[in-house]
Amino acid sequence: MITRLSSLFLRTLREDPADAEVPSHKLLVRAGYVRRAAPGVYSWLPLGLRTLRKIEGVVRDEMDAMGAQELLFPALLPREPYELTNRWTEYGDDLFRLKDRKGADMLLGPTHEEMFTTTVKSMFSSYKDFPVTLYQIQTKYRDEARPRAGILRGREFVMKDSYSFDMTDAGLEESYAKHRATYQRVFDRVGIRYEICKATSGAMGGSASEEFLAYSDNGEDTFVISSAGDYAANVEAVVTVAPEPQPIEGLPDAVEHDTPRAETIDALVAWANAQGVTVEGRQVSAADTLKCMVLKVDDPRLTDDDGAPVGPRLTGILIPGDRELDEKRLEASLAPATFELASEEDFARTDFLVKGYVGPRALAANGVTVYADPRVVDGTSWIAGADAHERHVVGLVAGRDFVVDGFVEAAEVREGDPSPSGNGTVKLARGIELGHIFQLGRKYTKAMDVQILDEGGKRAVPTMGSYGIGVSRMMAVVAEQRHDDKGLVWPVAIAPYQVHVVVANKDAAALQAGEDIAAELDSAGLEVLFDDRPKMSPGVKFKDAELLGMPFIVILGRSFADGIVELRIRGGETLEVASADIVAKVRELVAAG
């Protein structure tokens, strides 16, 4: 069926919306694909809904092909299953909570691990029922503190979430590998440039975890790729290449120095070079100094003798002075613990903390846990705070003058760092998360007491995998990657229509010819958008066609009198095609994708 612009529920805009910051947000609103209903909440207009449904279709095709079975849970959920896994509390302010008329606590589903798990528990009892993989494509809700970038980061979004249930760890690995390959087929079909990156599991728990990150300068995620092409990871998951421990014997003793007005690393390096201090015969650089960051860390796993949480505790973090603290990496390293930087009040009431001159020795002497960057290995020598005003210690040796309680990934990752793969160095890129796959293990099946009879007739707990794709986000990602200064450039697989027919002449003969070509294209099985607006100028029609972004635009202009139509490949070349051949040519291009 031909869709006519004269009757399509559509209004394009010439100006960007005032709150739009990124290209996808600007263009999807201007082109009439979505419209803002509230902060982080968008209505899907006819063109946008067609593209969304096509993306859902690609996802559904590939999930069905791998043997997964589709179901659909409610978005309005009871509190009780989320209490069992403690996520009613852990989700914090991100969870939309409400009460029904009887006062019962309910929530709008942010994700559905609990529902999948309880459903499998209620229906399956034997190992013969496994493995099983279930999925849904459904609207999710998260009360983002700062919803931004249109449908890229909203409070209501469409997601495909699937879960595998296996009786063995080997089965989980097989299910994980199937999902990984399926995701690759989905993103390849949609035409997205992406990397599969090692990731942290965070609050989801489990072991293996990978993210599918789409390249985008506007992405919120930073990831690294190896110059050798054999490694990619979200920066939060990058493992620092640590040096080998060095011999301690024979190293000179640590010496304290007066260091006036040397509260910053730059000032400390300037003092060292002015005083002729050297490290292994060379001038001191920031990399020879040690930052000692003081935090308050709250670990929910730590309780007192009565079982009550111990609450926030002072903790030291040591990183090389030439690196900045990366709070996201530190957060991932400490999870499920949370942290905040020590305040002025914390320094004021703690006599062994001297702001600007904190070192590891006083922290350890006062029972404060100290974690270090992996580069701070035994035998390495540092310039660090001496725990006294305007004093530092030179030649402080790890493993001799101080000992740490463990290592954390807290320092920034920089372009040119050694690749964790052992080959080459890393490059930094920005990306948008498209999907995330986890080997969850038995976290949820244990919490919800899923007991299955195994082959020996004994009770066993199945293991799970969790796999998500941002379906509505994928649409925004394509718009981010595929646009130009004129508008959207949709790939054939998810374009609302495959071909857009534009009549540039206002005379009745040209309009009738446009009707005929649109009808022929439709009869050939192509999806046709026909700009039949008789009073609209050719310039406006062209601008709308480019803004809307259909893959192929057929234009009946001045050359049509000579039997020639113009075929614009959106984002590519323009061809002149005999009107008699236009249907065959468009079919050929659509088939090629």
**What whole-number distance in Å separates Cα of residue 110 and Cα of residue 91?**
9
pTM for the predicted model, two decimal places: 0.89
Q: What b-and-e string marks burial along 201-210, b requiring 16 or more CB atoms within 10 Å of the CB?
A: beebbbebbb
CA dihedral 87, 88, 90, 95 (to 10 degrees): 110
Angle between helix 471-481 and helix 23-30 axes, rounded to 10 deg? 100
Place of tokens 């809700």: 141
DSSP of 6-59, one letter per residue? TTSS----SS--TT--SHHHHHHHHTTSEEEEETTEEEE-HHHHHHHHHHHHHH
**Residues 557, 538 contacting (CB under 8 angstroms):** yes
Structure tokens belonging to residue 200: 């942290």
CB 161 within 8 A of CB 112: yes
What Å distances lie between residue 433 and 194, 223, 477, CA to CA? Answer: 9, 10, 9
Contact between 478 and 491 under an 8 Å Cβ cutoff? The reply is yes
Report the C-alpha gap between 73 and 351 in whole angstroms: 56
Give pLDDT, residue 335: 86
Domains, in order of start, for the chain: 18-238+428-480 (3.30.930.10), 255-407 (3.90.960.10), 497-592 (3.40.50.800)
Query: Chain-centre distance of CA 506, in angstroms?
Result: 48
The whole-number pLDDT of residue 358 equals 95
Chunked into runs of 10 residues, the chain (593 residues) has average pLDDT values of 95 91 96 96 98 98 98 96 87 92 95 93 95 97 90 95 96 97 98 94 66 94 94 94 93 94 94 91 94 93 83 95 95 91 93 93 94 96 95 95 96 95 95 95 91 92 96 97 97 98 84 92 97 89 97 92 92 93 96 89
In contact, 530 and 2? CB cutoff 8 Å? yes
Q: How many C-beta neighbours within 10 Å does residue 24 have?
A: 29
Q: How far, in Å, are 164, 289, 393 from residue 272 at the CA level?
A: 58, 10, 11
How much is the pLDDT for 206?
56
Tokens of 322: 């030439």
What residues form DSSP beta bridges with 148? 153
What is the CA 559 to chain-centroid distance, rounded?
49
Q: How far is the C-alpha of 312 from the C-alpha of 267, rounded, in Å?
A: 32
Q: Give residue 202's pLDDT.
A: 57
C-alpha distance from residue 395 to each of 278, 371, 373, 391, 524 (Å): 10, 19, 18, 13, 79
Task: Indicate the burial class of 545 (C-beta count within 10 angstroms; 0-12, 13-18, 19 or more).
Answer: buried
How many Å apart are CA 325 and CA 198, to the nearest integer? 21
pLDDT at 201: 66
CA dist., res. 330 & res. 242, Å (int)? 17
Distance CA 535, CA 532 (A): 9
For residue 344, count CB atoms less than 10 angstroms from its CB and return exposed for 0-12, middle for 13-18, buried for 19 or more.
exposed
- Angle, vertex CA 329, rays to CA 323 and CA 333, nearest 5: 120
What are the distances in angstroms from CA 581 to CA 62, 553, 586? 35, 15, 9
Number of Cβ within a 10 Å radius of residue 177: 12
Q: What CA–CA distance (Å, rounded) separates 291 from 373?
A: 10
Following CA atoms 253, 258, 262, 263 in sequence, which dihedral angle do they give, to the nearest 10 degrees? 80
The pLDDT of residue 242: 92
Q: CA 68 to CA 104: how far, in whole Å?
A: 34
Residue with tokens 């701070």: 376
Phi-psi region for residue 390, left (φ > 0), alpha (ψ -120 to 50) or beta? left
